[in-house]
Amino acid sequence: MRNYLFLVFFAFSVSSSHAQVVGEFFATENYMNHEVWWSKPFADSSRFSFFSFNRFRINFENSANSQFLNYSTVNYTLGKNLGISGGGFLTQYGFAPLIALNYFYLSEKCLIGLFPGIQVQDSPNADLFAFIQFRPKVNDKIGVFIQLIASSNFNFKRHNVSEQSLRIGLDYRSFQFGYGLDLGQYTYSEGVNTSTEWIDAHGLFIRKEF
């Protein structure tokens, strides 16, 4: 989702000394996403790691509305459940640097993450991010895959944008697939008045963890 998917992957990278890669396709009636995330520590015993997230969104109705996002960060692990990140994201609209804190809980079946951050610019924006993943096993080969990513961005005066991404499906070895739902709330200003547009997109997803 937007500029915060790197934080999701950072939660996994702090507990592993190996490179991790995730690829996902998500198709709806109006667009298709192709996402690739990868993360790797600087060294096996290093507290530093590097992350890169890339998303290509192809709009079926109007190719001019297609989108590209690259997000790259350097992460530092402070402790078992806490870390900091610095980097930025690049879109067709420009580049924005960001710093963030990371707190997460990780167990065999569940991952919960909370990530507050600030965009470093002339008029800073604050972000709140939450990530929940639940993966209970049905048997040795098949499990249930449930993932919710939610973020909210505001400029200390009003709400800017919020997005939620839900994935529900099956977990088979290194593949996950099933139903996906993207929701978004976008606030616009007209003088002293503001209005919020709500959108939703239903589709199917398939992802693989390498």
> What is the domain-level CATH number for residue 121?
2.40.160
CB atoms within 10 A of CB 144: 16
CA 114 to CA 130: how far, in whole Å?
5
Write the pLDDT tens digit of every residue in 118-143: 988 888 889 888 889 999 999 999 99
Please give the residue that has the higher pLDDT: either 39 or 188.
188
Q: Which two tokens stand for residue 144?
A: 């249930």
Per-residue confidence (pLDDT) for residue 19, from 0 to 100: 53
CA 114 to CA 103: how far, in whole Å?
5
Write the pLDDT tens digit of every residue in 61-113: 888 889 888 878 888 989 888 999 888 878 888 888 889 888 878 898 998 88
Q: Which two tokens stand for residue 173?
A: 């070895």
Number of domains in the chain: 1
> What value does the mean pLDDT take over residues 47-65?
87
pTM over cut 0.85 = no
Closest Cα partner for 131 from 38, 11, 49, 23?
11
**Which residues form the domain of 37?**
2-209
Closest Cα partner for 97 from 186, 10, 3, 163?
3
